[in-house]
A and B are shown apart, each in its own frame.
Chain A
Amino acid sequence: MDFPRAFSNALETLLSLAAVAALAGTAQADVLDDVKTNGVVKCGVTLSAPGFSAENNEGKREGFDIDLCKAIAAAALGDETKMQLTPMDLKTAFAGLPTGVVDVLTHRFTWTESRDIGGLKFPKIMFFDGQGFVVARKSKVGKLADLNNATICTLQGSTSELIVASYFGAHKMKYKIVTFASAEQAWDAFVGKRCDTVINDRSGLAARLAKLPNKDDYRVLAETVSNEPIGPIVAQGQPRWEALVRFTLNALVAAEELGITQANVDEQRNSQNPDVQRLLGATGDFGAKLGVGNDYAYKAVKAVGNYGEIWDRNVGPKTPLRLERGRNALVANGGLMMSIPVR
């Protein structure tokens, strides 16, 4: 008789139904509540970008983007080690964020109108970048105009694809494009002479060049062809989580403005400066309103230092990347980086 089998099939169906319902449940739940329940912040990060997100010799992932994830974990859970890093390419990142695979992308993606409207929210710009081209010195290309008829390697689905199309189109220059699933593949193909040039964010180019033994054989062209505001990304429709991420990142910049460092943050808690008091939670209730401890900013700075310290440690002049602050200097120092007033 078939009945027992039909019954077990039906049971299986019910079970999978429950799974679907559970899945739909997580998609709609509040991310901040989920983070607290799970006791971990899940961050999507770049597969490999030295200085931003790359494994060190001990196999531990570190870099600028990792420090941002640490700061968020410290602010949300009071412990910067409670983070889970998932290396993702563009495809998995943009599909994984809205479905809850990760809570936040501390990645290298540019804030664009279509991404924002499409459901990806950028709480705060943490890196003002622009795209540039690298060429081999031997090719005798000195400026962008020399790249007519060039073959260009880049990352598929990136803003670079669109920038190349519009720049070369506007200047009536011809080109051929070869796109790869990861920035690393695109770079390898360029080094393998498949392309005459490779386009990427200047920070990304610096990161790749830093790794090459023969970096003097290559040159970054002086022209910057785009503005690339870059920062962590959260899913749309999560106002509490978005606010926490925004003001955690903001606290890192505010700390630099106020002279609060990883080393002096403990004594700064006793500061008489009302701005410092509000930021570190000695007065006011910003933390409570964000749904975390009032000392969330203190925890974040204690974990990774202020914005300038994160920069210097990972990508600054003393690292292989040798990046100057440039546009990312504080406004007081002639750059573009500023905090949202903590008041």
Chain B
Amino acid sequence: MTAPPKPRLSRAVLIERLPGYAGQAVLLALVAWLVWRGVANFQASARALHLSVGFDFLRTRAGFDIAQSLIAFTPASTYLDAIAAAALNTLLVIALAGVLSTLIGLCVAFGRLAPAGLVQGVSAAYVEVFRNIPLLLQILFWYASALALLPAVADSIQLGPALLNNRGLFLPSAQFDPVIALSRPRVEGFDVSGGVAILPELMALTLGLSIYNGAFLAEIFRAGILSVPRGQIEAAATVGLSGMRAALLIVLPQALRVALPAAGGQYQTLAKASSLAAAIGYPDIMQIVGGTVASQTSQALEAMALVVLLYAAINLAIALIVGFANRRLLAHEGR
């Protein structure tokens, strides 16, 4: 098989398009010049203001502590470590809320399509209530509720080996020092020692993000499910698949194809909304890099540039993953 010959542009067409090409070239040059001037201008202004510009501060000692860190972090660590810890905290909450909101979205989507009136009503009410209240308000509500309802350390609620109080949920954890042993959380004076802690801030933020985005995802999934032809579901019933199996094996894979692009956008919204952590003191990128690092180094512009860069990177990564999944799905369709 040979490729079809490229249509050659006639002289007349070329001449007609010439002003357009010229315009684009001029515009491109102007944009390049603008960017170059902007950067030069910034540097000149910074020099004139005697501001120290640059990222040398990243390797100096941070001197502060972070409430929650997935990597080892002490006041002796560097600003770079602090930024890494903050980025991991953001990724953690995005991952937790991403999974949870997807589960909520799927349940509510099927709930809204259920024949039973009560399930349908509850699901519809869920979507309308949580979709229409500002996310910040919801997060503040969950945080205030957590602090108001959870007991003090001395009156911790014992959940099997776990402890729950207003300092967080403390789960037993494995310790490898020197042999593998189980570290059980126990109350010690002011505080709980041993185990791993899930901070109230993380709980409130995950809950707020999941419930809010779950409502949007539910509508996206519902649209996807409705796009699956009825005949498919009837066919599934004919070959003897139960309702649940038909939903999982027949409806969901096809619904996903329609829902995925919109859902991807929703996951990006979730990632950006995770910066509302700043409202309740969860140590995420916004809080640590845009707040603590910016002020402790007095290099606010650099720190803010890093915040922009990190969020852009996270969102681009989500877009890439969704795009990849989408191509896989479409490839399956083509087969």
Partners in one complex: yes
Q: Is A6 a contact of B27 with CB atoms below 8 Å? A: yes
Q: Of residues 135 to 168 in A, which have CB atoms within 8 Å of B's CB atoms?
A: 147-151, 153, 156-158, 161-162, 164-166
What CA separation (Å) do A10 and B38 show in the bound complex?
17
- Chain A: which residue is nearest B17 at the CB level? A2
How near does chain A come to B185, taking the closest CB pair, in angstroms?
13
**Complex partner residue of B191 from A94, A149, A181, A189, CB under 8 angstroms:** A149
> Of A13-21, A275-283, A306-314, which stretch is located at the interface?
A13-21
**Besides A2-B23, A176-B67, 20 new A-B residue pairs in contact (Cβ under 8 A), listed by A number:** A6-B22, A10-B30, A17-B37, A27-B49, A94-B294, A98-B301, A149-B189, A149-B193, A156-B281, A156-B292, A157-B292, A157-B294, A161-B64, A169-B75, A177-B66, A177-B67, A179-B292, A181-B278, A186-B281, A194-B167
Q: List chain B residues, Cβ under 8 A from A341.
A: none
Q: Is A150 a contact of B191 with CB atoms below 8 Å? A: yes
Q: Is A157 a contact of B51 with CB atoms below 8 Å? A: no
Q: Of residues 154 to 204 in A, which have CB atoms within 8 Å of B's CB atoms?
A: 156-158, 161-162, 164-166, 169, 174-181, 185-186, 189, 192-194, 196
Q: A158-B295, A192-B147 are in contact. Are A3 and B75 (CB under 8 A)?
A: no
**Complex partner residue of A6 from B24, B34, B147, CB under 8 angstroms:** B24
- State whether the Cβ of B232 lies closer than 8 Å to any Cβ in chain A: no
Contact with A along B145-167 (1 / 0, CB 8 A): 00110001000000000000011
**Complex partner residue of A119 from B31, B50, B189, CB under 8 angstroms:** B50
Q: List chain B residues, Cβ under 8 A from A186.
A: 281
What CA separation (Å) do A341 and B45 show in the bound complex?
35
- State whether the Cβ of B188 lies closer than 8 Å to any Cβ in chain A: yes
Highest count of chain B CB atoms <10 Å: which of A27, A157, A181: A157
- State whether the Cβ of B269 lies closer than 8 Å to any Cβ in chain A: no
- State whether the Cβ of A1 lies closer than 8 Å to any Cβ in chain B: yes
17 contacts between A and B (CB under 8 A): A2-B20, A6-B19, A16-B34, A21-B41, A28-B45, A91-B294, A95-B304, A151-B167, A151-B191, A156-B288, A166-B75, A176-B167, A178-B201, A185-B280, A193-B152, A194-B147, A236-B50
What CA separation (Å) do A156 and B290 show in the bound complex?
10
> Number of contacting residues on A, CB 8 A?
61
Q: Is B147 a contact of A193 with CB atoms below 8 Å? A: yes
What CA separation (Å) do A263 and B252 show in the bound complex?
80
How near does chain B come to A343, taking the closest CB pair, in angstroms?
30
- State whether the Cβ of B279 lies closer than 8 Å to any Cβ in chain A: yes
**Complex partner residue of B144 from A1, A120, A165, A192, CB under 8 angstroms:** A192
> Of A32-40, A47-55, A79-87, A110-118, which stretch is located at the interface?
A110-118
**Complex partner residue of B296 from A120, A147, A153, A157, CB under 8 angstroms:** A157
- Chain B: which residue is nearest A236 at the CB level? B50
Q: A5-B23, A91-B294 are in contact. Are A237 and B50 (CB under 8 A)?
A: yes
- Chain B: which residue is nearest A174 at the CB level? B191
Q: Is A165 a contact of B44 with CB atoms below 8 Å? A: no
Q: A176-B191, A177-B67, A194-B200 are in contact. Are A91 and B291 (CB under 8 A)?
A: yes
How near does chain B come to A110, taking the closest CB pair, in angstroms?
11
> Number of contacting residues on B, CB 8 A?
63
Closest 8 CB pairs between A and B?
Answer: A6-B23, A118-B298, A157-B295, A2-B20, A95-B300, A3-B19, A165-B75, A161-B64
Q: A20-B38, A91-B291, A236-B51 are in contact. Are A165 and B63 (CB under 8 A)?
A: yes
- State whether the Cβ of A331 lies closer than 8 Å to any Cβ in chain B: no
Q: List chain B residues, Cβ under 8 A from A28.
A: 44-45, 48-49
Q: List chain B residues, Cβ under 8 A from A237.
A: 48-50
Q: List chain A residues, Cβ under 8 A from B189.
A: 148-149
Question: Could you list which residues of chain A lie within 8 angstroms of chain B, going by C-beta atoms?
Answer: 1-3, 5-7, 9-10, 13-14, 16-17, 20-21, 24, 27-28, 90-91, 94-95, 98, 114-115, 117-120, 147-151, 153, 156-158, 161-162, 164-166, 169, 174-181, 185-186, 189, 192-194, 196, 235-237
What CA separation (Å) do A186 and B287 show in the bound complex?
13
How near does chain B come to A148, taking the closest CB pair, in angstroms?
7
How near does chain B come to A153, taking the closest CB pair, in angstroms?
8
**Complex partner residue of B188 from A10, A149, A189, CB under 8 angstroms:** A149
Q: List chain B residues, Cβ under 8 A from A94.
A: 294-295, 298, 300
Q: Is B298 a contact of A165 with CB atoms below 8 Å? A: no
- State whether the Cβ of B138 lies closer than 8 Å to any Cβ in chain A: no
- State whether the Cβ of B26 lies closer than 8 Å to any Cβ in chain A: yes
Q: List chain A residues, Cβ under 8 A from B175.
A: none
- State whether the Cβ of B65 lies closer than 8 Å to any Cβ in chain A: yes
What CA separation (Å) do A24 and B301 show in the bound complex?
15
Contact with A along B250-287 (1 / 0, CB 8 A): 00000000000000000000000000001111010001
What CA separation (Å) do A94 and B302 show in the bound complex?
12
Q: Is B27 a contact of A27 with CB atoms below 8 Å? A: no
- Chain A: which residue is nearest B45 at the CB level? A27
- State whether the Cβ of B16 lies closer than 8 Å to any Cβ in chain A: yes
Q: A149-B188, A162-B64 are in contact. Are A91 and B19 (CB under 8 A)?
A: no
Q: List chain B residues, Cβ under 8 A from A1.
A: 16, 19-20
Q: List chain B residues, Cβ under 8 A from A185.
A: 279-281
Q: List chain B residues, Cβ under 8 A from A91.
A: 290-291, 294-295, 300
- Chain B: which residue is nearest A138 at the CB level? B152
Q: List chain B residues, Cβ under 8 A from A21.
A: 37, 41
Q: Of residues 151 to 197 in B, which have CB atoms within 8 Å of A's CB atoms?
A: 152, 166-167, 188-191, 193
Q: Is B44 a contact of A24 with CB atoms below 8 Å? A: yes
Q: List chain B residues, Cβ under 8 A from A119.
A: 49-52, 298
How near does chain A come to B113, taking the closest CB pair, in angstroms?
41
